[in-house]
C-alpha cells in the first residue's frame, strides 16, 4: 500500500457512517454464529449416550473366554446402536482389563460405576463374580453374568444368563446313566480348585446319592495348573467308566493330554465337560478330545436358521474362522434381555429395570427362546449334549425336549433354600457343607 | 490398563475441528476481516494521530509494513511447514504401524495351532478396534488407550509360544522383531494424537497478525480503499491461520490422516 495518496476530497460523513455501519453489521453477522449459535456452524449433533461397562479378563488363564464375551457384546451393542440405540441413546462401552487379579477387578468395577455406567456385563469365573457382586450391590447397579455357574446364589443385583446345575449337570448325569449315554455306573469328578467345581461336585454327589451312577472319587487342581497325570491313575484304580470335567480355562490342555497319554478311550470312559466349548476346543488337539462330550445350552453346529444367521453375522464382522459358543450365545441373549427390560422400564435406572425383569421377558436367541425367570433372575433354557468331532465342533446327541426352568438351589443339595425376588427374596434353609461326606 | 477411555479429555477448543473445513475457513477469514474493519472504524482515527503531520508518512508506514511482512511471512511459512511436517510424520508412523502389523500377521499365520489362529484373531481384533473405535477417538483429540489391552493380549500369546524346530525359532525371532516395530510405531501414533504447536507460537502468530493489521490502519487513504485493500490482506492472513490450524492436529480437520492403511490390511485379513 505504499505510494497511495491521501483522500483528496473532504470526508463525507454520511457515506462513511453508512459504510462503517455496513462493515460492523457484516462483521457481526460473520462472527455471530460462532459467538452465539455454535450449532449453526455445522457442528455434528452429539447423540445422547449411556455408558455400559464390560468387565472381562482379556489376558490370563481365562482371557480367551473373556475376549469372546467382549467381542459378542461389542457386536450386540454395535447392532443396537445402528438400529437407533436404547431409548434413543447410543450405548458407549467401557471395557478395561482386570487380567487375573481380583483386587484389580474390584477396583475397575468401582471405577466403571463411578464413571456412570448403568450396568456391567462381565466376569467369567464364580470367584470373579463373587468378588464384584458386593460392589454392584453397594452401588445398586446390575451385573449381567452370562457364564454357566454352580448355583447356590441369587443376588438382587445380578441377572444370570448361564446355566445352573439343574439345567446342565443334572441332565448330563441322567443321560450318562441312561442307555443312550452308555448306562454308566462309576463317575470320577475332576475340576479346577475353586468355587464352581467344588459346588458343582457337591450338587452331583447329593444328586447321585442312592442312584445307580456312583461318584467314585474327586480330583482338583489349581486354576491354570496343567498337571493331571494322577487322573489317569485314579481312573484305572477306581474303575471309573466316565468323568465329569469341571476344569476351567487352559488347564483342560493338561487334562486331555494326560488322558490321551494314558490311552483313555472315549467310547469306554467318556469325559463330559461343562466348561469346554468350541472356543476352548481350538486349544486342544482334536485327536485328544474327539469322541468326548460337552454339555451346554448352545453349540455352533445347531442347525436352525436363526443360528446360521447369527453365526454368519458374527463371522462377517469378526472373521470367518471365528467360532461361537456357550457362553457367547447366552451373553447375546442377555444383552437383548437387558435392552428389553430398559425399554419396558422406560429408564436406565436399576430399580425400574429390575421391575421390568420381573415381568417375565423372553428373547428368541440363536439357541432357541430364552425366558427370564422373574423369581430367580436366571434364564430358562435348553440343555444339549454334544460329541466332539475332529473339526472341533460338536455333534448334538441329546437335547432337552423343552427349556429347563432354572433352580439355583436344587432341593436335593440345598434343602429348604428358595429364591423368589417377586415375594421376599431368599428363603434360607439348612446350612450345607460343600465337602459333604468325602 | 488403569486408564479408562473417557478419562483423557480433549482440550476445550477442540470443538473448532468439528466444524466443516469450508465453514471453518470462512469463519477464520470473517474473523480477521471483521477485526480489521472494526479497527478501521474504531482504532484507525486514534492511530493515525501518530503519523498525521509526518511528511511521507505513507512511505514510512509502507517500509515498516514491508519489513514486518518479511519477518512475519517467514514465521508463518516456517510454522506452516512445521505443521505439515508433523502431519507427514504422523502419517508415516501410521503407515509404519500398519506395515508392521501386516508383516506380523503374515509371520504368525505360519505358527502351529492354536497359537497361529489365536494370534491372527488377536491382530484382527486390534485392527478392527483401531478402525472402529480408536480413530473416531483420535479425531476427537482423545488418546485411545483401550488398544493397550489388545496389544497386551497379543504379547501374552506371542510369548506363550515356545518354538521347537529351527524354522520356528527363526520365524518367532522375526515375529518378535516385527512386534517391537509395531509397538514403537503405535506409541508414536498415540503421542501424535495430541501433538500440535505450542501455545506460545499461537500467541506470537496472533500478535503478529494484529500488528500487521494495525500497521495498515496507519495508512492515510480513502476509507473505502482502506477497507478493501486491508480487508484483502486480512482475508489472506485468516486463510493462512486456517491452514496452520487445520494442519496443527494430525488426526483432526480436513488435512488429517485417515485409517486407510489399517482398513486396507483389515480387508486383507478378512480375505484369509
Smallest CA–CA distance from A318 into chain B, residue: B125
Chain B contact set for A16 (CB, 8 A): 223
Nearest CA in chain B to A107: B2
Query: Which residues in chain B are closer than 8 Å to A6, comparing Cβ atoms?
Result: 58, 220-221
**Mean pLDDT of the B12-35 span:** 88
Determine whether the interchain pair B59/A5 forms a contact, defined as Cβ–Cβ distance below 8 Å: no
pLDDT value, residue B11: 59
User: Is beta strand A142-145 parallel, antiparallel or unpaired with respect to A158-160?
Assistant: parallel
Look up residue B259 and give its three cell numbers: 485409517
> Looking at CA atoms only, how far is residue A24 from chain B in angstroms?
6
- The answer to whether residue A278 scores a pLDDT higher than 50 is yes
Least confident stretch, A25-29, A110-114, B13-17: A25-29
Residue A20 has pLDDT above 60, yes or no: no
What is d(CA A268, CA A271) in angstroms, rounded to the nearest whole number? 10
A401 Cβ under 8 Å from any chain B Cβ: no
Which residues does chain B have within 8 Å of residue A49's beta carbon, measured at their own beta carbons?
Answer: none
Check CB contact under 8 Å for B4 and A44.
Answer: no
Whether residue A31 and residue B58 make contact (CB cut-off 8 A), yes or no, is no
Residue among A42, A112, A321 whose CB faces B19 most closely: A42
A18 contacts chain B (CB < 8 A): no
Encode pLDDT of B99-136 as tens digits: 999 999 999 999 998 899 999 999 999 999 999 999 99
Say if A38 is an interface residue toward chain B (CB within 8 Å).
yes
CB-based contact (8 Å) between A82 and chain B? no
Query: Contacts of residue B15 in chain A, CB cutoff 8 Å?
Result: 38, 43
Contact state of A97 with B152 under an 8 Å Cβ cutoff: yes
pLDDT bin (cut points 50, 70, 90) of residue B140 is confident
Binning pLDDT at 50, 70 and 90, where does residue A58 land? Answer: very high
Of the candidates B239, B238, B244, the residue with the CA atom closest to the CA atom of residue B210:
B238
- Domains in chain A: ranges and CATH: 49-163+304-380 (3.40.50.2300)
Query: Span A36-40, mean pLDDT?
Result: 39
- pLDDT, tens digit (0-9, with 9 covering 90-100), for B175-202: 999 999 999 999 999 999 988 888 899 9
Residues B69-90, mean pLDDT to the nearest whole number: 92
Contact list in A for residue B223 (CB cut-off 8 A) is: 7, 11, 16, 19
pLDDT of residue B49: 84
Tens digit of each residue's pLDDT (9 = 90 or more) over A369-395: 999 999 999 999 999 999 999 999 999
Q: Are A413 and A203 in contact (CB under 8 A)?
A: yes
Nearest CA in chain B to A64: B118
Chains A & B: contacts with CB separation below 8 Å: 138
Query: ∠ at Cα B50 (B46, B53), nearest 5°?
Result: 115
Q: Sorting pLDDT into bands at 50, 70 and 90, what band is A62?
A: confident
ipTM of the complex model: 0.80
Query: Is a pLDDT exceeding 80 seen at residue B2?
Result: no
Nearest-neighbour CA in chain B from A54: distance (Å): 12
User: Which residue has better confidence, A431 or A167?
Assistant: A167
Which of chain B's residues have a Cβ under 8 Å away from the Cβ of A26? Answer: 34, 37
pLDDT at A7 over 60: no
Q: Which residues of chain A does B33 touch, with a Cβ-Cβ cutoff of 8 Å?
A: 27, 30
Asked if pLDDT for residue A28 goes beyond 60, the answer is: no
Please answer whether residues A128 and A66 qualify as being in contact, where contact means their C-beta atoms are separated by less than 8 angstroms.
no
Q: pLDDT class for A249, splitting at 50, 70, 90?
A: confident
Q: Collect all residues of chain A within an 8 Å Cβ-Cβ radius of residue B30.
A: 27, 30-31
Mean pLDDT over A243-251 rounds to: 91
Angle between helix A328-345 and helix A63-82 axes, rounded to 10 deg: 40
**pLDDT value at residue A126:** 87
| Model pLDDT for residues B227-243, shown as the tens digit of each residue | 999 999 999 999 999 99
Q: How many residues does chain A have?
A: 438
Length of chain B: 272
**Averaged pLDDT, B257-261:** 94
Other C-beta atoms closer than 10 Å to the C-beta of B250 total 25
Confidence (pTM): 0.83
Neighboring chain B residues of A19 at a CB cutoff of 8 Å: 223-224, 227
Residue bearing the bigger pLDDT, A432 or A151? A151
CB-CB under 8 Å, A71 with B19 = no
Q: Which of A39-53, A263-277, B4-18, B52-66 has the lowest mean pLDDT?
A: B4-18
Q: Convert the pLDDT of each residue in A70-97 to its tens digit.
A: 999 999 999 999 999 999 999 999 999 9
A5:B221 CB<8 A: yes
Quote the pLDDT of residue A404.
96
Find the closest chain B residue to A4 by CA distance.
Answer: B221
Closest CA of chain A from B114, distance in Å: 5
CB contact under 8 A, A321 and B272: yes
Say which of B5, B61, B219 has its CB closest to residue A94: B5
- Inter-chain contact A23–B38, Cβ cutoff 8 Å? yes
CB contact under 8 A, A319 and B41: no
Residue in chain B nearest A43 by alpha carbon: B19
Which of A17, A19, A27, A116 has the most B C-beta neighbours within 10 Å, making it the best mutation to test the interface with B? A27
For chain A, the three-class secondary structure string (H helix, E strand, C coil) is CCCCCCCCCCCCHHHHHHHHHHHHHHHHHHHHHHHCCHHHHCCCCCCCEEEEEEECCCCCCCHHHHHHHHHHHHHHHHHHHHCCCECCEEEEEECCCCCCCHHHHHHHHHHHHHCCCCEEEECCCHHHHHHHHHHHHHHCCEEEECCCCCCCCCCCCEEECCCCCCCCHHHHHHHHHCHHHCCCCEEEEEEECCHHHHHHHHHHHHHHCCCCCEEEEEEEECCCCCCCHHHHHHHHHHCCCEEEEECCCCHHHHHHHHHHHCCCCCCCCCEEECCCCHHHHCCCCHHHHCCCEEEECCCCCCCCHHHHHHHHHHHHHHCCCCCCCCCHHHHHHHHHHHHHHHHHHCCCCHHHHHHHHCCCCEEEECCEEEEEECCCCEEEECCEEEEECCCCCEEEEEECCCCECCCCCCCCCCCCCEEECCCCEEECCCCCCCCCCC
Does A24 touch chain B if contact means CB atoms closer than 8 Å?
A: yes
Amino acid at each position: 500500500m505504499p505510494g497511495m495518496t491521501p483522500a483528496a476530497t473532504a470526508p463525507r460523513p454520511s457515506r462513511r457512517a453508512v459504510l462503517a455501519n455496513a462493515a460492523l453489521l457484516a462483521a457481526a453477522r460473520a462472527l455471530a454464529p460462532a459467538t452465539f449459535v455454535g450449532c449453526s456452524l455445522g457442528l455434528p449433533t452429539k447423540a445422547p449416550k449411556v455408558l455400559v461397562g464390560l468387565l472381562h479378563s482379556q489376558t490370563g488363564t481365562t482371557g480367551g473366554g473373556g475376549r469372546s464375551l467382549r467381542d459378542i457384546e461389542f457386536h450386540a451393542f454395535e447392532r443396537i446402536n445402528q438400529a437407533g440405540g436404547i431409548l434413543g441413546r447410543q450405548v458407549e462401552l467401557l471395557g478395561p482389563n482386570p487380567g487375573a487379579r481380583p483386587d484389580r477387578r474390584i477396583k475397575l468395577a468401582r471405577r466403571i460405576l463411578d464413571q456412570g455406567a448403568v450396568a456391567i456385563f462381565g466376569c467369567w469365573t464364580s470367584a470373579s463374580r463373587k468378588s464384584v457382586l458386593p460392589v454392584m450391590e453397594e452401588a445398586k447397579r446390575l451385573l449381567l453374568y452370562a457364564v454357566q455357574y454352580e448355583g447356590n446364589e441369587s443376588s438382587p443385583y445380578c441377572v444370570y444368563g448361564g446355566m445352573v446345575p439343574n439345567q446342565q449337570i443334572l441332565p448330563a448325569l441322567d443321560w450318562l446313566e441312561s442307555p443312550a449315554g452308555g448306562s454308566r455306573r462309576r463317575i470320577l469328578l475332576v475340576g479346577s480348585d475353586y468355587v464352581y467345581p467344588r459346588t458343582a461336585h457337591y450338587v452331583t454327589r447329593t444328586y447321585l446319592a442312592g442312584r445307580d451312577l456312583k461318584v467314585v472319587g474327586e480330583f482338583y487342581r489349581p486354576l491354570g495348573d496343567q498337571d493331571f497325570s494322577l487322573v489317569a491313575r485314579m481312573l484305572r484304580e477306581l474303575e471309573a467308566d466316565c468323568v465329569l470335567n469341571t476344569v476351567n480355562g487352559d488347564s483342560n490342555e493338561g487334562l486331555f493330554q494326560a488322558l490321551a497319554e494314558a490311552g483313555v478311550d472315549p467310547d469306554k470312559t467318556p469325559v463330559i465337560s461343562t466348561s469346554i466349548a468350541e472356543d476352548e476346543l481350538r486349544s486342544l488337539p482334536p485327536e485328544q478330545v474327539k469322541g468326548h462330550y460337552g454339555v451346554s445350552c448352545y453349540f455352533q453346529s445347531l442347525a436352525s436358521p436363526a443360528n446360521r444367521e447369527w453365526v454368519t453375522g458374527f463371522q462377517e464382522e469378526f472373521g470367518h474362522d471365528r467360532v461361537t459358543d456357550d457362553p457367547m450365545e447366552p451373553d447375546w441373549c442377555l444383552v437383548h434381555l437387558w435392552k428389553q427390560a430398559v425399554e419396558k422400564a422406560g429408564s436406565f435406572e436399576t430399580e425400574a429395570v429390575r421391575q421390568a425383569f420381573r415381568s417375565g421377558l423372553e428373547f428368541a436367541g440363536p439357541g432357541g427362546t430364552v425366558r427370564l425367570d422373574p423369581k430367580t433372575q436366571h434364564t430358562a433354557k435348553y440343555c444339549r449334549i454334544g460329541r466332539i468331532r475332529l473339526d472341533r465342533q460338536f455333534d448334538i446327541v441329546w437335547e432337552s425336549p423343552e427349556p429347563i426352568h432354572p433352580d439355583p438351589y436344587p432341593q436335593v443339595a440345598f434343602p429348604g433354600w428358595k429364591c423368589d425376588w417377586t415375594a421376599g427374596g431368599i428363603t434360607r434353609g439348612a446350612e450345607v457343607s460343600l465337602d459333604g461326606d468325602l | 490398563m488403569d486408564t479408562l477411555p473417557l478419562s483423557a479429555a480433549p482440550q476445550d477448543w477442540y470443538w473448532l475441528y468439528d466444524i466443516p473445513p469450508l465453514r471453518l475457513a470462512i469463519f477464520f477469514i470473517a474473523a480477521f476481516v471483521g477485526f480489521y474493519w472494526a479497527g478501521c472504524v474504531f482504532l484507525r482515527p486514534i492511530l493515525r494521530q501518530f503519523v498525521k503531520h509526518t511528511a511521507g508518512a505513507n512511505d514510512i508506514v509502507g517500509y515498516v509494513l514491508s519489513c514486518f511482512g518479511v519477518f512475519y511471512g517467514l514465521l508463518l511459512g516456517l510454522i506452516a511447514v512445521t505443521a505439515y511436517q508433523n502431519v507427514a510424520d504422523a502419517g508415516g508412523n501410521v503407515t509404519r504401524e500398519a506395515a508392521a502389523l501386516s508383516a506380523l500377521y503374515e509371520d504368525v499365520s505360519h505358527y502351529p495351532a492354536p497359537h497361529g489362529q489365536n494370534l491372527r484373531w488377536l491382530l484382527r481384533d486390534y485392527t478392527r478396534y483401531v478402525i472402529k473405535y480408536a480413530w473416531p477417538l483420535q479425531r476427537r483429540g482423545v488418546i485411545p488407550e483401550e488398544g493397550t489391552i489388545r496389544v497386551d493380549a497379543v504379547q501374552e500369546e506371542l510369548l506363550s509360544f515356545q518354538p521347537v524346530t529351527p524354522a520356528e525359532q527363526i520365524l518367532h525371532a522375526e515375529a518378535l522383531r516385527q512386534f517391537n516395530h509395531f509397538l514403537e510405531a503405535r506409541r508414536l501414533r498415540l503421542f501424535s494424537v495430541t501433538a500440535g504447536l505450542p501455545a506460545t507460537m499461537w500467541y506470537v502468530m496472533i500478535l503478529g497478525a494484529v500488528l500487521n493489521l494495525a500497521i495498515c490502519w496507519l495508512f492515510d487513504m480513502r476509507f473505502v480503499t482502506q477497507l478493501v485493500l486491508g480487508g484483502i490482506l486480512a482475508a489472506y492472513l485468516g486463510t493462512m491461520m486456517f491452514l496452520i490450524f487445520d494442519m496443527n492436529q494430525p488426526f483432526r480437520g480436513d488435512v488429517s490422516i485417515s485409517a486407510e492403511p489399517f482398513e486396507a490390511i483389515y480387508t486383507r485379513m478378512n480375505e484369509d
